[in-house]
Amino acid sequence: MGHRCFISFKTEDMHFKKHIHDNLDIDMIDHSLHEPINSDDEDYIMRRIREDYLSDSTVTIFLIGERSSENHPFENQNFLKRELQASLYNGVGNTKNGILGIVLPTMTDKIYLGSNSCSTCGGLHQIVKVDDNTVISEFSYNYYIPNDKCAWSEEDRYCVLVKWDDFCLNPEVYIDHAFNKRSHPISNFTKVRP
């Protein structure tokens, strides 16, 4: 079964959004937040974004490109942040979306850094650099939800991460995975504004 997807992206990555829209069989909601909502009431803002932009979507796809990070020196990330906050928001009349981060090709080597041996458990862990230098904090916090383990397993993360090429080969698998996180126990530990 397909899930309705909202895509959060920077305008520089529009051609990736267009590829998803034109070439992959995905049920998309084609709205983007372009104007700020004039209010100081955070619940009202989240509700308006959910109703006016994300409406019936159940999965938010976050395209992770070179200009999508919290610490990018020349980018205002307000729209990305609001879209992800509204996606994570559980309020009256709506439930939060699953979040699927797609690592675009120019970011693959900046996020997937190989593996290393763990001095705590002796095992091998993949090094995945999801932080304020690669993504916005709404994604990084909910990907690496704080715990006291030496590493994060799939069970410890709300956000789902995938490389662009892998997503294009089988998009429904990753969309389903993000959708299923909504009812997973880890969904109780997400944070809208980290």
Q: Which of these ranges, 12-21, 89-98, 129-138, 162-171, has the smallest mean pLDDT?
A: 89-98
The per-residue pLDDT for range 133-180, each reduced to its tens digit, is: 999 999 999 999 999 999 999 999 999 999 999 999 999 999 999 999
DSSP of 152-192: --GGG-SSEEEEHHHHHH-HHHHHHHHHHGGGSGGGGG--S
Catalogue the E-assigned strands of the chain.
Answer: 5-8, 28-29, 59-64, 98-103, 112-117, 124-128, 160-163
Assess if residue 128 is contained within a domain: yes
Assess if residue 126 is contained within a domain: yes
Report residue 59's pLDDT band, with 50, 70 and 90 as the boundaries.
very high
pLDDT at 57 over 90: no
Number of residues that this document lists for the chain: 194
- Using alpha carbons, list the distances in angstroms from residue 96 to 80, 125, 155: 16, 30, 18
Assess if residue 153 is contained within a domain: yes
Assess if residue 194 is contained within a domain: no
CA 61 to the chain's CA centroid: 6
Q: Which range marks the domain in which residue 35 is found?
A: 5-189
Assess if residue 138 is contained within a domain: yes
Domain tally for the chain?
1
Assess if residue 180 is contained within a domain: yes
CA distance 25 to 139: 25
Assess if residue 57 is contained within a domain: yes
